[in-house]
Amino acid sequence: MTILPRRIERGATVGIFSPSEPITPERQKRMQPSLDLLTRNFEPRFATHAFEQSYYQAGSREQRLGDFRGLLEDPSVDWLLGSWGGKSANQMVRRLPYDQIANARKPIVGFSDVCVLLNAITAETGLVTFCGPNIAGKLHESDHWDFDLLRGEQTPPFGHTTAECFETVRDGRAEGVLFGGNLTTFVLGLAGSRWMSAMDEVVFFWESGSEPPQILDQHLTCLENCGFMDRVVAMIVGDATYDEAAAYKDRPLDDLLRNVGELFDIPVARIPSFGHHKLENPAIPIGAPVAVDTDQRTVSLLGDVVQ
């Protein structure tokens, strides 16, 4: 059952948490332009350990989980926003307070590694979550710094530039539910897990900041081997640029994607409006039902994503 998060309004309080890598002093400098934009519409509040650092982690697991729970429990916090990505969000998945998350119905937004948490939350609870620009790296580069979709605006799930940058790799139409994010962290965080097993009729969207085709093929094959690709009805690929591949690795991406589409008899499109580079980067609603139509060059929401 799909659970819609509560619609946010201008002036709402956003709780900022760090579930993966730390916000180092250098990243704090990079965060300021985004923070300036965020404060135009919202009241930011950093979690207790948001600036903690323990080696490559933003504090211990207990600190990161405690911050997340604290923002959920605080009635004055209206929605949650991840600060930064990294490699450690998967440490939190087994201990997330799923019942509390579903009951709170607070919108939760994150990018890159944070999408491990978002996909697990949606698969476990049915709550729609959002793969969107984080505060320390992407928000000031995004065209959606006001989080229009979370405020109930009728924004296409992959942004206003969808039709302009839509490239059909394999024709077709399909209806399903959005799951995905950064390919590497999605695979390493969820492959073979109970959360991935709960994803069905999937419109799988993914992006990759710097992996060569050989590694992308390896990740997609991992998803094939654990049975996930059998439940995918369409695939949407965002920014996946790599300019330094050795000759033997330099397989055209479209050739790889077309092969996947043919193997699973699904439509495949490239919509490079989202990813790790400076792009439109809308808040993509994980768990939202959508229709994909390569003839019309559209991915359309089949209902509301907030309530």
Residue 157 forms part of a structural domain: no
Count of positions (residues) in the chain: 307
Residue 296: CATH number of its domain: 3.50.30.60
Contact between 289 and 303 (Cβ < 8 Å): yes
Q: Which long-range contacts (CB under 8 A, 24 or more apart) does 39-43 make?
A: 40/146, 41/10, 41/11, 41/146, 41/147, 42/8, 42/10, 42/11, 42/12, 42/13, 42/14, 43/11, 43/12, 43/13, 43/14
Domain that holds residue 65: 13-151
Residue 6 forms part of a structural domain: no
What is the residue-level pLDDT of the chain in tens, covering all 307 positions?
Answer: 899 999 999 999 999 999 999 999 989 888 899 999 999 999 999 999 999 999 999 999 999 999 999 999 999 999 999 999 999 999 999 999 999 999 999 999 999 999 999 999 999 999 999 999 998 878 999 999 999 999 999 899 999 999 999 999 999 999 999 999 999 999 999 999 999 999 999 999 999 988 888 999 999 999 999 999 999 999 999 999 776 556 566 788 999 999 999 999 999 999 999 999 999 999 999 999 999 999 999 999 999 999 9
Count of domains for the chain: 2
Residue 37: CATH number of its domain: 3.40.50.10740
Structure tokens given for 290: 């959508």
Cβ partners under 8 Å of residue 138, min gap 6: 34, 111, 281
Give the Cα separation of 258 and 260 in Å (integer): 5
